[in-house]
Structure 1
Amino acid sequence: MKKIKILLLLLTVSVAGFYSCTDNDPVENEVVTSKSISLRTTLNEIKKANNINGKNELSTQDQAFCFNFVFPLNLSYNNGTVVTVSSYEGLIAVLASETSTFYFEGIQFPFQVQQEGVITTIDDEAEFFALILDCNFPTVNNFVFDFTCYDIVYPISIINANNETVVIETQVELMQYVSTPTGVSTYQLNIVFPISIEQNGLTIVVNDLYEFFEINNDCPSSSCICTADYTPVCVQTTTGIVVYSNACFALCDGFTQADFVSCDPILTTNFGNGLGSCFTMNYPVQVQHQGALVTANNNGELLQYYFPSWSSIPALVYPLTVNFSTPTGFIAVTVADQAAFEAAIINNCN
């Protein structure tokens, strides 16, 4: 793999920078980088902070950032080229030259950051994600639940915490992958691109993570960051009742508290009481839990993943078959998604 060293030579205060590139031995100096969603998230914030591409949102000073990189850093472009960035000024210079076909997507672990004078080593992507969460950077997890700018066209595929590719059929399923009762998830949404979105009546293909961030940067509500906790609220619209996963998303969508209406009977289900009496499950079933798929083989195991305070039904993988009790026995019902399951419980168990 080619390794290019970018050395910043500061000539004077008024002169930009001069960079020289040298080729190093590709065997003795081989650099291994890893694709990093957290890196793209961080670089996106740095570009906005320095008004690169006209997307100024933060202070233009590195010191105003949540953390500073400890240089040098080894970064890789989407074509595999690895560069060594020797300073913050050098990083700004190379970020200014990024394009939709030539952009950073990888970093060499471990690397170090400085926060309030303390040097911390970041060993892997999980630690990098935890760092940017502490900094409250807008992440992919936040962007996909900002409904004010565009709609994702489903189905899409994601790579879950077990490094498995999973097909997601609805927005509800996607929410279940990143939601936790506390609103803080250790799973970083890893979307398989390309995907399509619908915006202003147009269908747009988003080819990669770089384009995904660029689109979200142009959204007027991109600074509206909501947690992924599931405490649903309902809003009455001209086309019917819309269910939001929590009040923050409804407020970001332009509604106010005065627009909220009761979610009953939409979310008034009795999964916990009905399981084993009104209906039975055909085991085994799979449940999405913090970005991973777990298998439940009986009622006891399934109820471990039932959190009625933030979801009316466990985050089951659909379709599945449920056996509902009738006066003459049981009837098997195939449900395609959570909404269908909720409707079946309301119709058969109340």
Structure 2
Amino acid sequence: MKTLKLTLFSLMMALMVITSCTNNESVIEEQQHTEESGSITNALLQLRTQFDDSGNVTQPNNPAGNIVLDFCFDFVYPLNLAYNNGTTVTVADLEGLIDIMLNSTEDLFINGIAFPFNVETYSDSTNAIEIVTINNENEFIALLESCDFNVAEPCECYEVYDPVCVEISDPSGAIFTVTYPNACYAACDGFTEEDFLDTCEEDYNPIGSDCFTLNYPISIVLDNNTTVVVNSDEELGTALYDMYHFEFVYPLTVTLENGDTVEVNNSDDMDALITSCYGCPCPANVDPVCVEIEQPDGSIITFVYNNACLAFCDGYTEFDLVYCNSSNDLCLPTAISDALEGFTEWTINSYNGSQDLNIYEITFNSNGTLQWMSSGSTFSGTWSVEENPTSGNMLSMSFSGPDLQQATGVWRIADCDLPCSITLQSNNGDEMIVSRECD
């Protein structure tokens, strides 16, 4: 991962982080030894750009929902600071620091800090969030320079929700998952496709879901084992912004986009709900895996998925995967489509053993249509290939003209020798071979 940037874009809901000036748990005035520091003034000015005038985290700058990744670093609290009038304060948490930033003016602002202090930063070499000690002003300057706050061009991403996930270790060594709205937002934080997990549906953050809304109040358990009650999306975002792990307290209810209220009783229910909204995002790479499926008649078919992620989305586990070792195992829909579209002069070489239909040449078009000639006339039809995890991959064909109508139907792909032949079977026992002349 490259240097973290400040100007990042997000689809997440704005997160409210307002704390009263009189909150003694967040800001405590006391006498302490601080040093004048231009870096703390600069750091707070940069951090202030993450929030609007009400203290809400601005949407474009926070795709990860975590301050270390979205901003560049997080202070380890308590933090001892000084105002330009000599008043010193101890800040207990992020909310207290935001409160100070919101109430700073040109005449009253933070310009001092007590060294040494600690910060949490992301380490590219260890793929972990680590604690770093800042001992003096020069080290503070070096930290800010590494953040590259003055990046010339913002990272612009389109608002497409196609989540990708990355795994990171927190300072205690525990693994947590960060979900980005899409690969573009992850790339803005320096992650590449190699960093993405095969599956990430279990880590969706429901804030901002188009499919349902949480019915507040709800309770959540934070990574410090504190249970808090939140009353809005903004409060939920505030509670989670500098946390690495959290759990909902079940049961809770949600309202679907059609107005129905649904009770969510456990994490499995929540995963199923969110997966039903967004589907199961998987990479497009082809790295076939196979599973064996028992048919109603007791026979076993081997079904192939383009990659393991797709198999896991259908409920299979690593223990269900079998070795792909036959031509049938490699009859992927993508491979079938590529062969049919990429070559002409396909014929029905055999229909239940008869070669009567092999005089009709068929052209399969990329738009899902097909043509063939009969008695000097051109006739059309449609075709499609799709995965069917229960019955096997299927090829559907419809012939609207004469001669080939008997081949109309949905056929299971029983075997293939691409790009030369495809063996098909129907539910009533018919068998058909679609082939072309090959070297």
> Which category describes the TM-score, using the shorter chain as reference length?
0.3 to 0.5
- Greater Rg over alpha carbons, structure: 2
Query: Structure 1-normalised TM-score?
Result: 0.33
